[in-house]
Each structure stands twice: as structure tokens, then as C-alpha cells.
Amino acid sequence: MRLEKVRLEFEPFIGEAERAFIVEGVDYHNIAATGLHDWCPVNFVLRGERRDVLGGLLGQLWGGWLQIFHLWVAEAIRGQGHGIPLMRDAEDYARSRGAVGGTLETYSFQAKGFYLRLGYEICGTLDGYPPDHAKFFLKKSLA
């Protein structure tokens, strides 16, 4: 089989189709390499009365773990307890599908305290990322 010519292009605002193709390529590789085929998305959307998006949780379930990529609540309704049901529903859904744990990342200027109050524990820290801050890696048992 002969490979076609390829070129590398910088695309700061990649299209959704291209992004999905790359992400799915990694996901399919992980599934093939491990034999763990239990991947599924875990997404919850917080909507207002007019169905406008006011926040949400985006993640995935794979290998018996819930991985949360993004949790965000609009500033106008932040601090009113909306993050708790987003996390609870994602964790409950993950448990219903047999997940044993949850994992996520946050920064020192984000919601570390929130996640600690929900039972997550820090399992790694990257100091100085970004400068004058830290990135935290957290996990929680869902058993």
C-alpha cells in the first residue's frame, strides 16, 4: 500500500467534523488496544425556561470510569447549587452503567474546593501551569 502525500496545516479553529474525526480516532485506538468496548458519552445540559443553554457537564464513560472533561454554569446563575445536580446525575448515570470511579481536572482558579466537597481527592498536581497557578488531577470512588 502506498501512502499519499500529506501536509501539515495549522488550523486554530478546526471544524467540528475534523475535531470529531481526530477524537474518535483516539477513542477507537484505546478501545482496540484494551479490548474495553464500553465507551459512551456522558453529557448533561442545564437549560433555562426558553431552552437556552445555561451550563452543562460533558464527559465520557470508558473502562469503568467516568471522565468529566467540562463542567460549566453561566455566571448569572452560578452559586445557586446547579453544579451539584450536574455532578450527581453524571455520577449516578456512571454507576448505573457499572463505573467504579470518576476523574477530572481543574485549575487553582477554578473549582477545586467544589470537587473536594463532593468527595473527589487530588491524585496529582502540576504546579506552575499556568504561571502562578496549578492544575489538579482528581479522582473519586463511585463504588
Give dist(CA 48, CA 57) in Å, integer: 15
pLDDT(28) > 70: yes
Question: pLDDT of 70-82, one tens digit each?
Answer: 999 999 999 999 9
Question: pLDDT of 86-101, one tens digit each?
Answer: 999 999 999 999 999 9
pLDDT of residue 1: 67
Give dist(CA 117, CA 33) in Å, integer: 35
- Chain mean pLDDT for the chain: 96
Average confidence (pLDDT) over 110-121: 97
- Domains along the chain? 38-141 (3.40.630.30)
